[in-house]
């Protein structure tokens, strides 16, 4: 379903060296996961026997029990589609290997031996196990009447999106994890059967390793570690299950459970594949290092049979992908964004030796953030705030509410606040154009927007300053600006910040401000977004509400994020939006505004082709000089169809 695959990480209740009991539990959990339409289930390292068997690994009886357990597992799961990864010891050529096997529909499709064998402090695996690089002659191994692919360089493939590589426990902890090679070889899913014991603080480090490796490899990473049922002679195993996706923690368990448990999530393999295609350096690093290229070329690819497909998606889809969801990351992220904006402007002001910063203030979100950024830039440069020329330019649509907020904001900041009423000069333009003032068309609106820009530009010329643009990333995507008016400036500080994030930035700034400024900022946040180019209602309320015209910005930002960052199709974006906003918008509303987004995004590229300089803030930007190159006359029929 749109590239989503449900995966499971299981921590079974086990008994050390009791293969029959462990096999029954593995089968039970596999059947349960199959009923949940999971495509893949992962069990811990040496899960058939238990990790803590010690010298029992050298006993022939344990070897015999393992073969019986494998055979029983294959028979019990022969009629289900789920792929099963479990761990067991395997003897070959008088050596024992710590292995993971992938089983599906009654067959062992491949066996991966562990590469890095820990032999320090509480670990002494080399007493029993040989590393994968000790294998010199085995591409296949005879087992239960079959010749089975055997080695550390295997990728299990279902299609171009779902490809699985396996590394075992310590393989992740080394300087170059085996999963790095697997990912370069095409694996979008990494499975790690592990037996990491528990120490104070180790779980957080373990989780950070999984998350960072999933980001570095642009993959889904499934981790399952041995549980409390292991021997507690010297250490304890907590049964840590983690599933991460491209640097983000999707789900983890609470550890220390006494009974078996499974965690599930969906991984968007289509998105992972798309991300890799757009990051051209992904395949460069290892291939350019001597010897690594041949290693990647030697990977063997094993075909998976038909996999389960989820009938629904249980994974939570973030409706505000640009906005940090947790309080602490939000504070940290907002501080960083604000520093990027203000530092970039500081550099430009310093380079130009600009005497003044000129910015138009409307009492709306964008100009408010721009003014706060300009203030911070002047403070960085130790330039007086009086060198900020903040111009409020009331027109035919300006309401008392936004006008008073604009003046109060400027006064609170302590800048050079000016008022230039544009109504008279606009009426002169109407006269020149022979435009009926009662004809409230696009020309009526754009005359006002261009007059404001002209005043700002001329003021900058006269005072030796530069005009600071206020338009944001959402407006740039939608082309919601007047060409050669608010579309233009000498430096644009908000061009990398979408509308949904601007609200949060101002809210964050308000939380750090004194009560007077805080109240002004919170009132601005609560004011409807509007260009205020049409006359207000008789009650003085805003007539022209942007989101009533083009749709909610939270929807457009969602569409922007998934279409640009991951190249998602309109059908997939509609599907994801339906999940993310299921409590707020119905399917018809989502489709209506997705069509608006597609139409405007394509048709307004000509404006993006000549936008001013400005700092990139997040992973998405639309500068034609850097991130987004697109012909302005491209057809959007395929997208709308």
Q: Helix or strand or coil: residue 506?
A: helix
Is 114 catalytic? The answer is yes
Check pLDDT > 70 for residue 280: no
First to last CA, the chain: 20
Query: What was the pLDDT predicted at 137?
Result: 63
The answer to whether 402 and 528 are in contact (CB under 8 A) is no
- 102: which strand partners? 85, 110
The one catalytic residue in 53, 169, 269, 495 is 169
Query: What was the pLDDT predicted at 330?
Result: 79
Q: Is 303 exposed, middle or buried (0-12, 13-18, 19+ CB in 10 A)?
A: exposed
- 99: which strand partners? 88, 113
Helices vs. strands in the chain: H and E counts, helices first:
22, 20
Q: Which pair of structure tokens corresponds to residue 210? A: 């999984």
Query: What was the pLDDT predicted at 457?
Result: 98
Q: Is 270 exposed, middle or buried (0-12, 13-18, 19+ CB in 10 A)?
A: buried
Q: Position of tokens 């990473």?
A: 221
Q: Helix or strand or coil: residue 392?
A: strand
Mean pLDDT of the chain: 93
Q: Is 382 exposed, middle or buried (0-12, 13-18, 19+ CB in 10 A)?
A: exposed
Mean local confidence (pLDDT), 492-504: 96
The answer to whether 377 and 487 are in contact (CB under 8 A) is no
Check pLDDT > 80 for residue 326: no
Is 356 catalytic? The answer is no
Helices (H), 395-441: 400-413, 423-433
Report how far residue 129's alpha carbon sits from residue 134's, in angstroms, rounded to the nearest whole number: 10
DSSP per-residue codes, 554-605: HHHHHHHHHHHHH---HHHHHHHHHHHTTTT--HHHHHHHHHHHHHHHHHTH
The answer to whether 358 and 465 are in contact (CB under 8 A) is yes
pLDDT tens digits, one per residue of 525-551: 999 999 888 898 888 888 889 999 999
Confidence of residue 201 (pLDDT cuts 50, 70, 90): confident
Query: What was the pLDDT predicted at 285?
Result: 65
Confidence of residue 283 (pLDDT cuts 50, 70, 90): confident
pLDDT tens digits, one per residue of 402-439: 999 999 999 999 999 999 999 999 999 999 999 988 88
Q: Helix or strand or coil: residue 271?
A: helix
Check pLDDT > 90 for residue 135: no
Query: What was the pLDDT predicted at 542?
Result: 84
Report how far residue 44's alpha carbon sits from residue 42's, in angstroms, rounded to the nearest whole number: 7
Query: What was the pLDDT predicted at 482?
Result: 96
Query: What was the pLDDT predicted at 437?
Result: 80
Helices (H), 101-167: none
Check pLDDT > 90 for residue 111: yes
Is 169 catalytic? The answer is yes
The answer to whether 7 and 241 are in contact (CB under 8 A) is no
Confidence of residue 634 (pLDDT cuts 50, 70, 90): very high
Range with lowest mean pLDDT among 280-289, 297-306, 549-558: 280-289
Check pLDDT > 90 for residue 191: yes
Report how far residue 241's alpha carbon sits from residue 42's, in angstroms, rounded to the nearest whole number: 10
The one catalytic residue in 25, 45, 252, 475 is 45
pLDDT tens digits, one per residue of 138-165: 689 999 989 999 999 999 999 999 999 9
Query: What was the pLDDT predicted at 118?
Result: 83
Q: Which pair of structure tokens corresponds to residue 412? A: 């609170």
**Contacts of residue 322, Cβ cutoff 8 Å, sequence gap at least 6:** 498, 500, 501, 557, 561, 618
CA torsion angle for 222, 5, 216, 12 (degrees, to 10)?
0
pLDDT tens digits, one per residue of 454-476: 999 999 999 999 999 999 999 99
130 or 559: which leads in pLDDT = 559
User: Quick one: which of 86, 106, 85 has its CA closest to 40?
Assistant: 85
Mean local confidence (pLDDT), 315-322: 94
Mean local confidence (pLDDT), 568-595: 96
Query: What was the pLDDT predicted at 290?
Result: 61
Confidence of residue 573 (pLDDT cuts 50, 70, 90): very high
Residue 165: how many CB atoms within 10 A of its CB? 28
The pLDDT > 70 percentage for the chain reads: 98
The pLDDT > 90 percentage for the chain reads: 83
pLDDT tens digits, one per residue of 331-374: 888 999 999 999 999 999 999 999 999 999 999 999 999 999 99
Query: What was the pLDDT predicted at 10?
Result: 98
Report how far residue 546's alpha carbon sits from residue 471's, in angstroms, rounded to the nearest whole number: 14
Report how far residue 89's alpha carbon sits from residue 54's, in angstroms, rounded to the nearest whole number: 12
Q: What is the total residue count of the chain?
A: 641
The one catalytic residue in 25, 53, 99, 114 is 114
445 or 289: which leads in pLDDT = 445
- Statement: the pTM of the whole predicted model exceeds 0.85: yes
- 261: which strand partners? 11
The answer to whether 485 and 448 are in contact (CB under 8 A) is no
Query: What was the pLDDT predicted at 136?
Result: 65
Range with lowest mean pLDDT among 164-173, 193-202, 301-310, 515-524: 193-202
Query: What was the pLDDT predicted at 289?
Result: 65
Report how far residue 605's alpha carbon sits from residue 546's, in angstroms, rounded to the nearest whole number: 20
pLDDT tens digits, one per residue of 240-277: 999 999 999 999 999 998 999 999 999 999 999 999 98
What is the set of domains in the chain, with CATH numbers? 4-303 (3.60.110.10), 327-640 (3.40.50.620)
The answer to whether 144 and 71 are in contact (CB under 8 A) is yes
């Amino acid at each position: 379903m749109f590239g989503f695959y449900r995966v499971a990480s299981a921590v079974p209740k086990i008994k050390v060296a009791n293969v029959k009991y462990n096999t029954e539990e593995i089968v039970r959990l596999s059947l349960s996961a199959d009923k949940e339409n999971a495509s893949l289930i992962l069990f811990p390292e040496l899960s058939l026997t238990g990790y803590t068997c010690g010298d029992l690994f050298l006993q022939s009886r344990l070897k015999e029990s393992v073969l019986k357990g494998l055979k029983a597992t294959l028979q019990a799961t022969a009629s289900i589609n789920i792929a099963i990864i479990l761990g067991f010891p395997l003897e070959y050529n008088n050596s024992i290997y710590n292995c993971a096997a992938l089983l599906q529909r009654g067959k062992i499709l491949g066996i991966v031996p562990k590469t890095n064998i820990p032999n320090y402090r509480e670990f002494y695996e080399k007493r029993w196990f040989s590393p994968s690089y000790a294998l010199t002659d085995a591409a296949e191994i005879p087992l239960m009447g079959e010749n089975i692919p055997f080695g550390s360089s295997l990728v299990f493939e279902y299609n171009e999106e779902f490809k699985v590589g396996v590394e075992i426990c310590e393989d992740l902890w080394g300087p170059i994890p085996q999963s790095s090679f697997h990912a370069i070889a095409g694996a979008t899913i990494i499975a790690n059967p592990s037996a990491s014991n528990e120490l104070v603080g180790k779980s957080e480090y373990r989780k950070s390793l999984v998350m960072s490796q999933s980001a570095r490899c642009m993959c889904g990473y499934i981790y399952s570690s041995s549980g409390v049922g292991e021997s507690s002679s010297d250490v304890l195993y907590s049964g840590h299950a983690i599933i991460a996706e491209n640097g983000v923690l999707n789900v983890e368990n609470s550890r220390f459970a006494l009974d078996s448990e499974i965690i599930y999530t969906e991984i968007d393999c289509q998105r992972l594949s798309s991300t890799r295609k757009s990051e051209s350096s992904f395949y460069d690093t290892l291939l350019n290092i001597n010897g690594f290229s041949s290693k990647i070329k030697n990977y063997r690819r094993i075909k998976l049979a038909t996999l389960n497909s989820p009938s629904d998606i249980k994974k939570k889809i973030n409706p505000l992908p640009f906005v940090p969801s947790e309080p602490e990351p939000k504070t940290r992220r907002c501080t960083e964004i604000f520093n990027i904006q203000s530092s970039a402007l500081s550099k430009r002001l310093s380079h130009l030796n600009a005497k003044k910063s000129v910015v138009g203030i409307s009492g709306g979100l964008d100009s408010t953030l721009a003014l706060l950024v300009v203030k911070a830039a002047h403070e960085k440069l130790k330039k007086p705030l009086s060198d900020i020329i903040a111009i409020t330019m009331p027109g035919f649509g300006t309401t008392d509410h936004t006008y008073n907020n604009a003046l109060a904001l400027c006064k609170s900041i302590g800048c050079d606040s000016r008022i230039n009423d544009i109504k008279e000069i606009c009426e002169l333009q109407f006269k020149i154009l022979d435009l009926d003032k009662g004809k409230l068309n696009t020309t009526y609106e754009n005359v006002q927007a261009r007059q404001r820009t002209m005043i700002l530009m001329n003021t900058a010329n006269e005072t030796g300053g530069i005009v600071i643009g206020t338009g944001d990333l959402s407006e740039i995507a939608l082309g919601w600006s007047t060409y050669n008016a608010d579309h233009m400036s000498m430096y644009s500080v908000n061009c990398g910040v979408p509308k949904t994030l601007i609200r949060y930035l101002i809210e964050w700034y308000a939380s750090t401000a004194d009560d007077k400024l805080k109240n002004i900022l919170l009132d601005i946040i609560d004011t409807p977004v509007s260009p205020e180019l049409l006359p207000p209602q008789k009650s003085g309320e805003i007539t022209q509400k942007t989101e009533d015209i083009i749709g909610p910005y939270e929807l457009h930002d969602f569409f922007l994020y998934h279409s640009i960052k991951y190249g998602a199709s309109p059908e997939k974006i509609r599907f994801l939006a339906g999940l993310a906003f299921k409590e707020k918008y119905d399917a018809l509303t989502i489709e209506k505004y997705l069509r608006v987004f597609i139409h405007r995004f394509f048709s307004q590229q000509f404006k993006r082709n000549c936008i001013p300089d400005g700092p990139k803030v997040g992973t998405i930007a639309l500068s034609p000089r850097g991130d987004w190159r697109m012909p302005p006359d491209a057809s959007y029929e395929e997208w709308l169809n």
